[in-house]
A and B are shown apart, each in its own frame.
Chain A
Amino acid sequence: MADTASIDHSTITSTSAKSAAGPRGKKPRPLFSSRNIMVYGVLIFAAAYYLLPLYVMVVTSLKGMPEIRLGNIFSPPMEITFEPWAKAWASACTGLNCEGLSRGFWNSVRITIPSTIVSIAIASVNGYALANWRFKGADLFFTILIVGAFIPYQVMIYPIVIVLREMGLYGSLTGLILVHTIFGMPILTLLFRNYFSALPEELFKAARIDGAGFWTIYFRIMLPMSLPIFVVAMILQVTGIWNDFLLGVVFTRPEYYPMTVQLNNIVNSVQGVKEYNINMAATILTGAVPLIVYFVSGRLFVRGIAAGAVKG
């Protein structure tokens, strides 16, 4: 033993002596290397490219109409005014109704919250059942659900109109909520199933040995471990439903129109002059909710997507 140790030691000293003159420690990396210029150049360009429209919208929404008519869309406002924002929210006209976007906002809230909660509640149980309780026909059920995710919405609209009419829900908020819940089901179920299958199977087995049943395992074991995927599902649903236009316009009456439909009606109104500042303000207001959701929970979103993607 002693022999080997001393041999090792001498080898180390001789190598370090040899390399004393050569490079040592952290390798220097110049700030303006061609690699850095390339990487940061591309990143800055891409960021600017994506942010430019937002900049134009914000700037325009803060200008008065006379200033907009000057035609320089990139210049910052000479005189900042918040009047377009107030008008877009409270008094912009769509047809005969001049309440602004506020009504559409509250309609969208009344559509988005129940749709999100109901669809996530059902889809998470679906995903859990598919991942952990391999019941008979589970694979078939799952395949059908996935195929459902690939059928274009447009194909299903007319049949659903008829179904809702027969159920007496056509034109009501409940009907739209039902439609959103159903359309969210395939992708959400897939998301939850993949997440639950990636959780260690032995946890599920241990809980079964402990005597826990279907719902006990779901609520006491699975739910507490699944916050990231619930956040992902929440973001997907909130943004998806909030931004929906087609289903909102097809399945509701004008007094229940969601914000997006109302925005369209404001922007596309053909009477009088186009008030670009109000249009821009209205658009930003409509987009604000998904934007805030992303900013608040973006980090969890990325983590959840990654976690769900590990195992299929």
Chain B
Amino acid sequence: MTSNSVSVRDLSLNFGAVTVLKTLNLDVRDGEFLVLLGSSGCGKSTLLNCIAGLLDVSDGQIFIKEKNVTWEEPKDRGIGMVFQSYALYPQMTVEGNLSFGLKVAKLPQSEIDKRVARAAEILQIQPLLKRKPSELSGGQRQRVAIGRALVRDVDVFLFDEPLSNLDAKLRSELRVEIKRLHQSLKNTMIYVTHDQIEALTLADRIAVMKSGVIQQLADPMTIYNFPENLFVAGFIGSPSMNFFRGEIADRGGRKVIAVNGVDFGMESYPARGPLETGRKVVLGVRPEHVKVDESVPGSEEHDAVVDIEEPMGADNLLWLKLAGQTMSVRIAGARRYAPGTALKLGFDMSMASVFDAVTENRV
């Protein structure tokens, strides 16, 4: 295993009686792009602020480059940070913004010029250096904000929802740029977002957070295909995973999940342990893992009728009812089904997820 760039040990943070982070542990590898993903209020930004040193922790330790920085000032931690609101100093030019921290650190002017020039080149903002932030577009501002972290020449970059204030087109452009930046710089980056697309596209590993606890920490494909619990399964993916509440039943030696009289065979499901008959479970299947009018080995065929069709260009989304409940199916955009069309569904159980109905953990 490679060395850790940032390590968080048993970190707790309370605001009065409110616990925001609960004995949290996290290791970020050297050069890794780690995304903290969660809905607002889950503690992801708080965790980032703790790592940055902008918030005092209640308990626990933070290590950056093997050095205990729990009590260090933000400037001494070897981090650079990019904020959602850009947080550019409005009265300074772009150049002033980039060099402010270096001037405070009393670096020689020649070194300051060198670093500013390099950052401006990497981010392609040389023509903007003499402008004020108010004269820049949102995308340019965020580029300058990234530049401000870049000139600090640090090991760890912290991003706090950097793209959330941008419109959709700019967001996808800058997303690619951040990824390219990471590939060329190979710095450790910790990136907070509530946007699962950003998380899935950018991350080496994603930490899904809820109520101050990391629910699952894994690479994007594992998170997407093998969610550890019901929360992660429901949070990732759009439209959401289809859930069916039922129980394990025995049909003449064959294990199935029975949901409102509909059986889903379990042969191809990679179960982690034995599943006793009568156990209450939740079956989760992603819309693209349901096949329409195609036979799936080991799966029953279920009859259903198209309720609503949502053509999305590359994909086509069908909403229909099965086992008394609404579900969605994603098929290729060229395959069209008018509402009211009867069709047959096959479930790819090897890609399904089954959770215990009580513990909500994967079984």
Contacts and interface: CB of A to CB of B under 8 A. Distances in A.
B226 interface: no
A90 B267 CA distance: 108
A224 B145 CA distance: 19
Interface residues of A, number: 16
Nearest to A199: B90
Nearest to A223: B91
Given A203-B89, A205-B54, A211 B75 contact: yes
B104 A210 contact: yes
Interface string A185-226: 000000000000000101101111111100010001100110
Given A209-B79, A216-B104, A202 B85 contact: yes
B100 A220 contact: yes
A225 B91 contact: yes
| Main DSSP-derived SS at the A contact region | helix
A209 B90 contact: no
Contact of A209 (B88, B91, B101): B101
Given A205-B54, A224-B91, A225-B90, A210 B85 contact: no
A210 B100 contact: yes
Interface string B156-169: 00001000000000
A225 B105 CA distance: 22
B249 interface: no
Interface in B254-287: none
A82 B87 CA distance: 58
Q: What size tier do the contact residues of chain B reach? A: 20 to 34
Contacts of B90: 224-225
B87 A202 contact: yes
Contacts of A206: 81, 83, 87-89, 145, 148
A208 B158 CA distance: 14
16 contacts: A200-B87, A202-B83, A202-B84, A202-B85, A202-B86, A203-B87, A206-B87, A206-B89, A206-B145, A208-B73, A208-B74, A209-B54, A209-B79, A210-B101, A211-B105, A220-B89
Interface of A: 200, 202-203, 205-212, 216, 220-221, 224-225
Interface of B: 49, 52-54, 73-75, 79-81, 83-91, 100-101, 104-105, 145, 148, 152, 160
Given A202-B160, A208-B73, A210-B75, 15 more contacts: A202-B83, A202-B86, A203-B89, A205-B52, A205-B83, A206-B81, A207-B89, A209-B75, A209-B79, A211-B73, A211-B104, A220-B100, A224-B91, A225-B90, A225-B91
